Each structure stands twice: as structure tokens, then as C-alpha cells.
Chain A
């Protein structure tokens, strides 16, 4: 059951009489606000009931031997009681599989942070160009990142690998271009000395 709602600007409690109104005004800061409240707000907190397993007759939980099993883990097949049963991605799995799935990144809905290596490589290949000298270090780094993390998972949202491709191309071009400039400069200075 929800205790109440507050104005997002001034933290004042929003009066219950204006919940689900079209648009109203905050009693304190007088800013227009809208509060949409849904049935979940009035639902009593559910309590999981665990039944005791009758020894020798009913299947018991793998983790809690005295608790009656209600399902088998979809990943490891072990019996689970109501306490151990976790529903995620429409699958019933045990806490052990949940932990290992989170660690290995096999349960996508537990993924709460991803590093975008393609964006890093692309930034390394493009932004330092204006400094002229930084690409000596950043261009090889961009190429390295593009190759090293080519197969790494990107965002959980739809995303292609075009940044990796461009980063590798730009990085390689900058690096070889700079090397060529340095070689030409050295050769020119040597020829000047010999003359």
C-alpha cells in the first residue's frame, strides 16, 4: 500500500484528492503537476507461504530440507521451495543459478550496466585529431580496442558495430599517416645535412 506521493520539485506531499486528476497544482510550489496512480499502489504486500514437506512422501527443497518443493529450477533442475523460487524472464530459477547467471551475464534482465567499447574506440579515433600529436598514442589504441572487443557484447538495445569499423579505419589511417610524415621529415632533414 502506497504511503503517499510527493511533488518532484518541492517535495511537498500531493493531496490524495487530486490523484488521477487531469492536471493540478502543487499546494506549495504552485507548479502544474499530474499524478497517475495505478492499482498496484493499493495492493497489500504479498507474503510468501512455505509449507513443510512430509518426509518420505513429498519432495523437499534442495536448499531447505524441511520445506516442500513447489518447482524445479529451469537451469539446474534442483527442487525449490517458495522461498528459493525466483521468476525472471518467465523462468523459475534457484538463487544459485541466479547468482551464476548474473556473474556470467547470461541473464539479460539482470544486466544493469554495459561498457560501450565501440564508442570508446570511435572517440579515441576521432576526437584527438585536432591536437595533432595525440593520435600517435590514441590511434593505435583505437585499432586495438576495435579488434580486442569486436566480439564483446554491446548494448542490450539494438546496436550495430559500425563504430568499431570506422574506429579501426580512422585509427589505422592516422597512425600510418603520422608514421609517413615522421619518416619523410627525417629523410628531408638528412638530405639537407648531406647537401
Chain B
């Protein structure tokens, strides 16, 4: 029989994973759901030493806003140019994007929440917003106080003279997932610029749109996957799967250049575009126009996202250095 668990705060839902915190009999249950698996962590109320949360910068929000603005501007330009059908198509395509932005703003600022026990600090991924962190504290504090009693927290010791005061022991560093890594952000930015460069090559070289359409989509997706995968590699450690991702990306990029040179690619054959190539001029025109529009949007999106991410990473490093030197 399932234990009587009570959901403490609303679930944090993502596309591929969700996480949530529950109050059980004498403990908190943190659930990390990867769609096909659930991983559980339990923290007894009488063993919780501290809960901390720190608000995070609004980089993600800026990126969302930038992306939506770009799309809207491009749709408006297309509309003004008289290609209303294309603009409507992209408007419909990006409505979920705008909805996601509104939800993101409504959820308030993001945060990183850590739970401290005698064993170490644990990142509570389910508590990712300041609003949720406050709700979590409000819900969990009475339970912790009930389990641990109301004994007062000792006051901070009075500052002693620098000569006589012994240096207090440093707490251990936090586990890596709780950190923001400027280098990881920068690598993501570089990946974005690589993608933009790939599309730029297509425009500069005036390759046959239909020949490189499918390999471009595949290589862009592969590079994006590789970027995200490497970020996870940096934060959670590298695995053998990363080798396959990098090899797959290299293969996709090689396929792109092959398609650009010879007009033949593995991905277009798999994707079935070769069938359309043989079926009349209309299908070819529709695919070419769609691909050209997609490529232009992708080019500017990737350039802006890449530059914004790298700039933010540099700003973050400079800020850290200034604070450290101060």
C-alpha cells in the first residue's frame, strides 16, 4: 500500500522531466521524474539542519523575451512584404512560445534551493522559483519544528580580535548542479554561433536549398543536442553516451557538407525529401520557401542567443572577479 504522502508545493513540470516534493511520515520525499523512471530522496524532519535558497539572475527570461521579439519582428516584416500566409504560419507556430514566456513571467524569479543535512547539501530541483521556495518553507517549517523542538538557535559569536580569533572551519563546497557555470553558458553560446555559422554558410554559398534542407535541420538539431549534452556533462559528469552524441553530431555536420558539395545526403534520403524532389515543381517551391524562411529565423535567433549568452557569461565572470578583489 502506498504511503500517505501529501504534496507540499505544486509540481515542477518540464518537457522531459518533472520534480516534486511530498511530506510523508516523518520525512520529506523529493521525487525526480524522468518520464520513465522516478528517483527518490528522503530527508527526515529531525535531520534537516538548514534550508537555503538564492535567487538566480534573469538570463533565461531575457533569452525568452529576445526570442519572442525576434519572431514577432520577422512575422511583421513578412506580413508587410505581402507574404501573409507565411507570417500566419509562423505566428501560429510561435504562439506556444509566447504562452510559455507569459507563464515564465507569471511564475516569478527563479532560485536554487538547497537542503542541508549532516551528510551534505542536497539540491531540491522541485523548488525552482522564489515563490515556491517561500511556500515550501511555510509548509515544511512547522513539521521540522515539531520534530526538532523549539530550542533557540545560538546567536552568532561576538567578533574577536583578528590575532586571537581562531579561524572557523569552512563548510564543504556545494554539489556542482547547484552552481551557475559561466564556462558552460559560454559553451552553449558558442554552440549557438556554430549553428548560425552553418546556416550562414548555406546563404553565402547559395547552395541548392532542397539539397541541404534536411541535412541542415539534422545538423542543427544534433549541434543543439550536443550543446545541451555537454552542459549536462560539465555539471553532472561525462558518460560514454557523450562520445556517441559527439560522433553523431560530427556525422551530421559531415553529411551537411557532403550535401552541399554533391546534392546527395544520407539524412535527405532517410527523411524522404528525395521523393518530393521527383514530384513536380510546386512541392519543391513550397519546401524551398519554407526552408528559406526557417533558416533566416534560425540564423538571427542563434546569433542573438549565442551573443547574449556569451556576453552574460563574460559579465558574470567580471562581476565575480570584481567582488572577489573587493
- A contact residues vs B (CB 8 Å cutoff): 2-11, 13-17, 19-20, 26-42, 45, 89-90, 108-109, 111-116, 119-120, 123, 155-159
Contacts and interface: CB of A to CB of B under 8 A. Distances in A.
Given A41-B116, A112-B40, A115-B37, A6 B2 contact: no
A159 B31 CA distance: 14
Given A116-B36, A116-B37, A42 B54 contact: no
A36 B148 contact: no
B295 to A, nearest CB: 23
Contacts of B42: 109
A14 B228 CA distance: 31
Contact of A29 (B40, B144, B178, B319): B319
Given A37-B49, A114-B37, 17 more contacts: A6-B171, A6-B173, A14-B52, A16-B157, A19-B156, A31-B57, A32-B55, A35-B51, A38-B50, A38-B144, A40-B46, A116-B35, A123-B35, A155-B38, A156-B29, A157-B29, A158-B2
A11 B177 CA distance: 11
B205 interface: no
B153 A37 contact: yes
Contact of A9 (B51, B54, B130): B54
B184 to A, nearest CB: 14
7 contacts: A8-B111, A9-B112, A32-B55, A112-B39, A112-B40, A119-B35, A123-B36
B49 A41 contact: yes
B179 interface: yes
Contacts, number: 164
Contacts of A3: 168-172
Contact of B54 (A33, A38, A109, A159): A33
Nearest to B52: A35
Contact of A38 (B39, B48, B169, B179): B48
Contacts of B79: none
Given A8-B112, A33-B55, A2 B50 contact: yes
B39 to A, nearest CB: 5
Contacts of B168: 3-4
A6 B115 CA distance: 11
B149 interface: yes
A31 B52 CA distance: 13
Contacts of A11: 173-174, 179
Interface in B120-158: 121, 123, 130, 133, 137, 141, 144-145, 148-151, 153-154, 156-157
Contact of B52 (A34, A39, A89, A115): A34
B52 A112 contact: no
Contact of A26 (B54, B116, B118, B171): B54
A111 B46 CA distance: 20
Nearest to A156: B2
B52 A36 contact: yes
A40 B52 contact: no
Nearest to B159: A17
B269 interface: no
Contact of A112 (B5, B41, B50, B145): B41
- Most chain B CB within 10 A, of A27, A28, A35, A39, is at A39
Contacts of A8: 52-54, 111-114, 123, 174, 178
A4 B170 contact: yes
Contacts of B173: 6, 11
Given A41-B50, A116-B36, A31 B55 contact: yes
B285 interface: no
B69 interface: no
A42 B46 contact: no
B323 interface: yes
A33 B47 CA distance: 22
Contacts of B153: 19-20, 37-39, 41-42
Nearest to A108: B3
What are the nearest 8 A-B pairs in CB distance? A4-B171, A8-B112, A41-B49, A33-B54, A3-B171, A16-B156, A35-B52, A8-B54
A5 B116 contact: yes
B22 interface: yes
- Most chain B CB within 10 A, of A9, A38, A158, is at A38
B40 A111 contact: yes
B320 interface: yes
A42 to B, nearest CB: 6
Contacts of B180: 9-10
B50 A10 contact: no
Contacts of A90: 25
Contact of B154 (A15, A28, A42, A109): A42
